[in-house]
Structure 1
Amino acid sequence: MFVSLIVVSSCKKKETSEPEPTGEVTNSEINRWIADTMRYYYYWNTSIPQDRNLDFDLDPEDFFETLLNTPTDRFSWIQNAEELKNELSGVIKTSGLGFSFFRIGEDGAGITVRYVLEGSPADAAGIKRGDIFTRVNGVALTVSDGYVQDYEPLVGNETFTLTKGIINGNTISEGGTLSLTPVEGFQENAIHMEDVIITDDGTKVAYLFYNRFLDQPQELVDAFGRFKAAGVTELIIDERYNGGGAVDIAALMSALIHRGFDINSPFIQFDFNSNFRDETLTYADMFGAANEPLVSATNLGLNRVFILATESSASASELLINNLQPFIDVIHIGGKTYGKDEASYTFENSSPKFEGENDWGIQPIILKYKNKDGGGNFVNGLTPDYQISETVPFAPMGSRSDPLIATALGVIDPSMQVEMQRQMDIGRRRQLPGVKLLDEANKDLSNPRPLDVTRTLNKTPLNLR
Structure 2
Amino acid sequence: MRLFTEETYLWYKEVPTDLVPGNYANPVDYFNVLKTPLLTPGGRPKDRFHFSYPTAKWEEMSKGGNLGYGTHWAQNGAVPRIWRLATVEPGSAADKAGLRRGDQLMKVNGEDFVNGTGAELVARFNAALFPVKAGEQHKLTVQRGAQIVEASMTSAVVMETPVRGVSVLDTPTGKVGYLLFSDHIGASENMLIKAITQLKDAGVVDLVLDMRYNGGGQLNIASELAYMVAGPAQTAGQTFELTTGNDKMKPKSPLLFKSTAVGYTAPDPAKPGQALPSLNLKRVSMLTSAGTCSASESLINGLRGIGVEVNLIGEQTCGKPYAFTPQQNCGVTYFTIQYQGVNAKGFGDYADGFAPTCRVADDFGRDLGDPAEGQLSAALQHRSSGSCPAMAQGTLIRSSAAAPALVPVRPMGKEISIIGL
Query: Could you say which TM-score interval applies, normalised by the shorter chain?
Result: 0.7 to 0.9
| 2:153 alignment counterpart | 180
In structure 2, distance between residues paired with 1:38 and 1:110? 38
Structure 1: distance between partners of 2:318 and 2:68: 23
Secondary structure of the corresponding residue to residue 140 of structure 2: strand
Report the count of equivalent residues: 388
Name the aligned partner's letter for residue 204 of structure 1. Answer: K
CA separation of 1:52/1:166 partners in 2, compared to 1, >3 Å: closer, same or farther?
closer
Match of 1:306 in 2: 285
- Give me the whole-angstrom Cα distance separating, in 2, the residues matched to 1:140 and 1:258: 49
Q: Secondary structure at the match of 1:163?
A: strand
1:294 aligned to 2:275?
yes
Q: In angstroms, what is the RMSD of aligned CA positions?
A: 3.3
5+ residue gaps, structure 1, are: 1-33, 350-357, 432-436, 456-465
Contact 2:107 2:114 in 1 (8 A): no
SS at match of 1:62: helix
Distance change (3 Å), C-alpha of 1:144 and 1:334: farther
- Alpha-carbon distance, 1:122 to partner: 0.9
Correspondence 1:226-265 to 2 at 5 A:
226-259=198-231, 260-265=233-238
What code does the residue aligned with 2:322 have?
A: E
Write the distance in 2 (CA, Å) between the matches of 1:44 and 1:102: 31
Query: What does 1:105-144 correspond to in 2, within 5 Å?
Result: 108-142=80-114
CA–CA separation in structure 1 for the residues paired with 2:151 and 2:201: 42
* Aligned partner (choices 234, 243, 251) of residue 278 of structure 1: 251
Provide closer, same or farther for how the CA distance between residues 438 and 89 of structure 1 changes in structure 2, counting only shifts above 3 A: farther
* Long gaps (5+) in structure 2: 38-44, 263-270, 397-401
Mark the CA change 1:143 to 1:227 in structure 2 (over 3 Å): closer, same or farther.
same
Corresponding letter in the other structure for 2:68: T
Question: What is the letter of the counterpart of residue 380 of structure 1?
Answer: D
Residue 130 of structure 2 corresponds to residue 155 of structure 1 = yes
Q: Indicate conservation of the 8 Å contact 1:192/1:210, yes or no.
A: yes
**Which structure is higher in helix share?**
1
Q: Does the Cα contact within 8 Å between 2:224 and 2:257 map onto a contact in 1?
A: no
Equivalent positions of 1:21-40 (< 5 A) are 34-40=1-7
Q: 2:166 aligned with 1:194, yes or no?
A: yes
**Alignment correspondent of 1:66:** 33
Task: Using the TM superposition, give the Cα deviation of residue 48 of structure 1 relative to its aligned residue in structure 2, in angstroms.
Answer: 4.5
1:220 pairs with 170, 183, 192, which one? Answer: 192
1:40 maps to amino acid: E
CA distance in 1, matches of 2:314, 2:87: 17
- SS of 1:330's partner is strand
Matched, 1:100 2:71: no
Alpha-carbon contact 1:43-1:273 (below 8 Å) kept: yes
| Cα displacement string for residues 104-146 of structure 1 (whole angstroms, at most 9, x for unaligned residues) | xx9754432211012221112122222334222222333699x
- Work out whether residues 242 and 343 of structure 2, in 8 Å CA contact, stay in contact via their aligned partners in 1: yes
Q: 1:321 to 1:44 in 2, by over 3 A?
A: same
Q: Per-residue displacement from partner, 1:203-254 (whole Å, max 9, x unpaired)?
A: 1111010011111312211211111111111000000111111111001100
Amino acid at match of 1:97: T
TM-score when normalising by structure 2: 0.82
Q: Give the SS at the match of 1:397.
A: coil
Deviation sequence 1:240-277 (CA, Å, 0-9, x none): 11111111100110010014244422221211011124
1:442 partnered with 2:416: no
> Could you tell me which residue of structure 2 aligns to residue 79 of structure 1?
53
Is contact 1:102–1:438 with CA below 8 Å preserved after alignment? no
Which residue in the other structure is 1:407 paired with? 378
Letter in 1 for 2:318: Y
Helix, strand or coil: the match of 1:325?
helix
Q: Identity of aligned pairs, percent? A: 23
Change in Cα spacing, 1:68 to 1:273, as seen in structure 2 (3 Å) is same
Q: Decide whether the 8 Å contact of 2:73 with 2:409 is kept in 1.
A: no
Deviates more, 1:107-116 or 1:367-376: 107-116
Match of 2:331 among 352, 359, 377: 359
- Among 343, 347, 350, the residue aligned to 2:323: 343
Once the two structures are superposed, the pairs formed by residues 314-333 of structure 1 within 5 Å of their partners are: 314-327=293-306, 328-333=308-313
**1:441 CA drift (Å):** 5.9
Q: Is the 8 A contact 2:226 2:257 kept in 1?
A: no
